[in-house]
């Protein structure tokens, strides 16, 4: 008898840091009505996955939803997939964190839902051939992948009627192909079309499988289709049709299928991801967007420090020590959420508040590590290493209040300022005018430059300092650390030397920046120098404003969300240009550009004779 086994799965997720009203809308329009309708059809077997972000939110806001899921598990109607708890892209995080996040999800599903998960939802479908080993170690039996991964491995379309076995280093994993045609049909076409397609897959002999696995938000929350799915009864009609055609179409969970049927054979799948993840190899998203690479490498930096702590042979503290390490790990795990590398505007990397949430949790993890390791002792330290894994050394200057991430090879600029009391990165920006949105970028302007040209990126750079490598030397003393930077370059054909020293003192939320600019040429000339600071705060303070102020000695940027101010003080009176930084949008975005930060550009004109130097001091204070 010909029969098709229909394996029906949904995946539900909201990014770490998403707005409360979005989660509530998704719950009311999609998560709750979907389960309510499914619960009315107990003969329809299906599979669900919820990210840990949603589990945490359900427990606080809608614990009755957890009870409903537990009820469906108990009566055998649903299977629950595990995954990385905070929805990380698994190949992007260390193996120890893969295992930790999966176990965190497993434990929640066991304790709160009464199920033992066997399958895993693979975040954003990002697959690498090394995954079977670590997933096997996590006691995962199977995962689901888009059918084009199997086609890329050489299978023909007519062979996608069952699951396959793959392995890495002898560790095995079963993989199911997700049917692309079903993704087009459900929930967009009529139930009759879906039933017709499922029947067409049936063959003599062993039943064929048809796997649907897609975002649960497509059932009522996205595409403005709540009315179609629930009020016009699409989902109800689909389930009723499946029940009426149960002789030809059998719904089943994945684990039940694996109990009854063997894998069709062995396969090795190539590295792959959803086509929209990136052109070519998906990891190149980190190359396309250096800001994503900065976030990712900061995450690895924090993870490595946590693993060092875990592996240390510390025999004091006992349960309290384990509790602290667990809390640090939870912050790290939240900082591994997939929005670091999600390349679409909806719920992804281009949202400043989502990037900010990633930084918040990574900074909190760092602070937890510092408290554990330093036991409350004040410090000021400087660390030199290739943090970004780009072949160039970066420098971290830090104390108990601030982290300054400096890039000597990129203009000696600061690309991250972590204000630890509020767990916020003050430079959470995207690229501006093909230049990194960093802080203290050294510019020399040509005559005729004005505020409009500078703010639009149409100005002419007269020197070769911005973005170019600086020589650097860290300096340490007991209570103060510094980074001394210098570069000899050219400005309008004249040789010039720029020296700057960035200093941080223990227990202070103050950055000291000393500049010395020397004319190395044989002629007297006038120079127009400015240092560009871009802060991802103060949007409300400067909304719609493009302005210049002459001969000021300080300027204040107010961040109303985090309730602190950034005060810049100048030893030499200056002209300050300030303007809002528009949000970067991908080419396919339908959104209008909006603010993501504030650009502050103090600039000075001065005349230098041969061998003469101009000096200035800038102080950045953070005040609450």
Q: From 277, 287, 254, select the one nearest 123 (Cα to Cα).
A: 277
Once rounded to an integer, what is the mean pLDDT over residues 348-364?
A: 90
Residue 346: what are its φ and ψ, rounded to 5°?
-75, 110
Once rounded to an integer, what is the mean pLDDT over residues 40-63?
A: 98
CA distance 329 to 200: 49
pLDDT tens sequence across 541-569: 444 456 778 889 999 888 767 678 999 99
566's tokens: 């950034």
CA distance 279 to 585: 17
In our burial notation (b when 16+ CB lie closer than 10 A, e otherwise), range 51-84 reads: bbbbbebbeeebeebbebbbebbeeebbbbbbbb
Burial level of 565, CB count in 10 A (0-12/13-18/19+)?
middle
The reply to whether CATH 3.20.110.20 applies to domain 4-273 is yes
Q: Which residues pair with 577 in a beta bridge?
A: 548, 601
Q: From 498, 614, 624, 486, select the one nearest 567 (Cα to Cα).
A: 624
pLDDT given for residue 449 in this prediction: 92
Peptide bond into 514 cis (omega under 30): no
Q: Are 567 and 534 in contact (CB under 8 A)?
A: no
Ranges of H-type helices in 346-468: 352-374, 451-456
Is the pLDDT higher at 477 or at 488? 488
Q: Which residues pair with 211 in a beta bridge?
A: 7
pTM > 0.75: yes
CA distance 132 to 141: 9
Q: From 351, 347, 359, select the one nearest 26 (Cα to Cα).
A: 347
pLDDT given for residue 477 in this prediction: 85
Q: Kindly indicate the confidence band of residue 344, based on its pLDDT and cuts at 50, 70 and 90.
A: low
Q: Please say if the pLDDT value at position 13 is more than 60.
A: yes
CATH of domain 387-623: 2.70.98.10
User: What is the percentage of the chain residues whose pLDDT exceeds 90?
Assistant: 76
Q: From 123, 122, 84, 78, select the one nearest 100 (Cα to Cα).
A: 84
pLDDT given for residue 600 in this prediction: 92
Q: Which residues pair with 564 in a beta bridge?
A: 559
Sign of CA dihedral 135, 211, 56, 561: positive
Q: Which of 31-40, 223-232, 314-323, 537-546 is most confident?
A: 31-40
Is the pLDDT higher at 536 or at 226? 226
pLDDT tens sequence across 257-269: 999 999 999 999 9
- Residue 588 contacts by C-beta under 8 Å, 6 or more apart in sequence? 345
Total Cβ atoms within 10 A of residue 378: 12
pLDDT given for residue 592 in this prediction: 55
Q: What three-state secondary structure class fits 212? A: strand
Q: What three-state secondary structure class fits 374? A: helix
Q: At what angle do helices 32-39 and 63-74 cross, to 10 degrees?
A: 30
Q: Kindly indicate the confidence band of residue 594, based on its pLDDT and cuts at 50, 70 and 90.
A: low
Once rounded to an integer, what is the mean pLDDT over residues 20-43?
A: 97
Token pair 């409300």 is found at 540
Strands (DSSP E) contained in 169-281 are 171-178, 208-215, 249-251
CA distance 158 to 201: 9
pLDDT given for residue 542 in this prediction: 45
pLDDT tens sequence across 111-131: 999 999 999 999 999 999 999
CA distance 18 to 27: 13
Ranges of H-type helices in 186-281: 191-200, 226, 234-244, 254-260
Category of 233 on φ-ψ map: left (φ > 0), alpha (ψ -120 to 50) or beta: left
CA distance 292 to 348: 11
What Cα–Cα distance (Å) separates residue 77 from each residue in 38, 48, 169, 362? 9, 11, 35, 38
pLDDT given for residue 543 in this prediction: 43
Tell me, what DSSP letter sits at residue 459? Answer: P
pLDDT given for residue 562 in this prediction: 67
Each domain of the chain, given as residue ranges in start order, spans: 4-273, 277-377, 387-623
CA distance 53 to 86: 6
Once rounded to an integer, what is the mean pLDDT over residues 222-227?
A: 88
Total Cβ atoms within 10 A of residue 471: 12
For residue 318, the Cα-to-chain-centroid distance in whole angstroms is 33
Q: Please say if the pLDDT value at position 202 is more than 70.
A: yes
CA distance 471 to 88: 37
- Mean pLDDT across the chain, nearest whole number? 91
pLDDT tens sequence across 152-178: 999 999 999 999 999 999 999 999 999
Q: Please say if the pLDDT value at position 239 is more than 60.
A: yes
């Amino acid at each position: 008898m010909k029969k098709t086994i229909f394996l029906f799965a949904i995946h539900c997720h909201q990014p770490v840091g998403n707005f409360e009203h979005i989660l509530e809308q998704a719950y009311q329009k999609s998560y709750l009505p979907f389960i309510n309708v499914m619960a009315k059809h107990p003969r329809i077997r299906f599979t669900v996955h919820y990210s840990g972000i949603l589990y945490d939110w359900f427990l606080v806001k809608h614990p009755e939803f957890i009870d409903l899921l537990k009820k469906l598990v108990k009566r055998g109607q649903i299977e629950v997939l595990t995954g990385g708890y905070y929805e990380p892209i698994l190949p992007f995080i260390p193996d120890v964190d893969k295992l930790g996040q999966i176990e965190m999800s497993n434990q929640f599903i066991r304790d709160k839902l009464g199920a033992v998960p066997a399958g895993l939802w693979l975040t954003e479908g990002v697959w690498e051939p090394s995954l079977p080993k670590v997933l096997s170690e996590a006691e995962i039996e199977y995962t689901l992948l888009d059918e084009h991964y199997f086609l890329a491995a050489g299978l023909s379309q007519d062979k996608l009627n069952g699951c396959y076995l793959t392995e890495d280093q002898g560790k095995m994993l079963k993989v199911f192909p997700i049917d692309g045609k079903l993704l087009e049909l459900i929930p967009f076409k009529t139930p009759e079309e879906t039933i017709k397609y499922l029947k067409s897959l049936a063959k003599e002999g062993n039943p064929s499988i048809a796997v649907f696995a897609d975002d649960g938000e497509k059932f009522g929350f996205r595409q403005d289709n709540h009315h179609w799915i629930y009020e016009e009864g699409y989902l109800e009609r689909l389930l009723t049709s499946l029940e009426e055609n149960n002789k030809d179409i059998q719904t089943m969970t994945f684990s039940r299928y694996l109990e009854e049927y063997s894998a069709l054979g062995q396969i090795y799948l190539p590295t792959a991801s959803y086509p929209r993840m990136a052109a070519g190899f998906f990891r190149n998203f980190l190359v396309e967007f250096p800001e994503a690479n900065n976030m990712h490498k900061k995450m690895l930096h924090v993870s490595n420090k946590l693993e060092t702590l875990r592996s240390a042979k510390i025999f004091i503290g006992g349960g309290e020590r384990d509790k602290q390490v667990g809390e640090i790990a939870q912050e790290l795990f939240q900082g591994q959420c997939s929005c670091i590398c999600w390349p679409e505007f909806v719920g992804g990397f281009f949202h400043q508040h989502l990037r900010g949430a990633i930084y918040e949790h990574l900074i909190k993890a760092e602070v937890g590590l510092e408290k554990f390791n330093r036991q409350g002792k004040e410090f000021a330290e400087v660390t030199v290493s290739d943090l970004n894994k780009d072949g160039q050394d970066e420098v971290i200057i830090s104390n108990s209040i601030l982290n300054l991430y400096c890039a000597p090879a990129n203009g000696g600029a600061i690309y991250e300022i972590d204000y630890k009391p509020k767990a916020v990165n003050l430079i959470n920006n995207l690229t501006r005018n093909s230049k990194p949105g960093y802080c203290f970028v050294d510019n020399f302007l040509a005559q005729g430059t004005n505020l409009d040209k500078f703010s639009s990126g149409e100005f002419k750079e007269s020197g070769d300092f911005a973005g170019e490598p600086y020589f650097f030397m860290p300096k340490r003393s007991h209570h103060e650390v510094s980074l001394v930077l210098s570069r000899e370059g050219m400005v309008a054909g004249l040789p010039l030397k720029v020296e700057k020293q960035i200093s941080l003192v223990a227990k202070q939320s103050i950055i000291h920046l000393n500049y010395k600019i020397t004319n190395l040429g044989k002629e007297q000339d006038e120079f127009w120098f400015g240092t560009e600071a871009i802060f991802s705060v103060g949007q409300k303070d400067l909304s719609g404003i493009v302005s210049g102020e002459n001969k000021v000695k300080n300027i204040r940027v107010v961040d109303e969300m985090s309730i602190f101010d950034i005060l810049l003080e100048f030893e030499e009176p200056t002209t300050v240009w300030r303007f809002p930084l528009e949000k970067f949008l991908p080419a396919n975005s339908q959104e209008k550009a909006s603010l993501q930060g504030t650009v502050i550009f103090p600039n000075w004109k001065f005349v230098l004779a041969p061998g003469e130097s101009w000096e200035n001091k800038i102080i950045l204070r953070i005040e609450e």
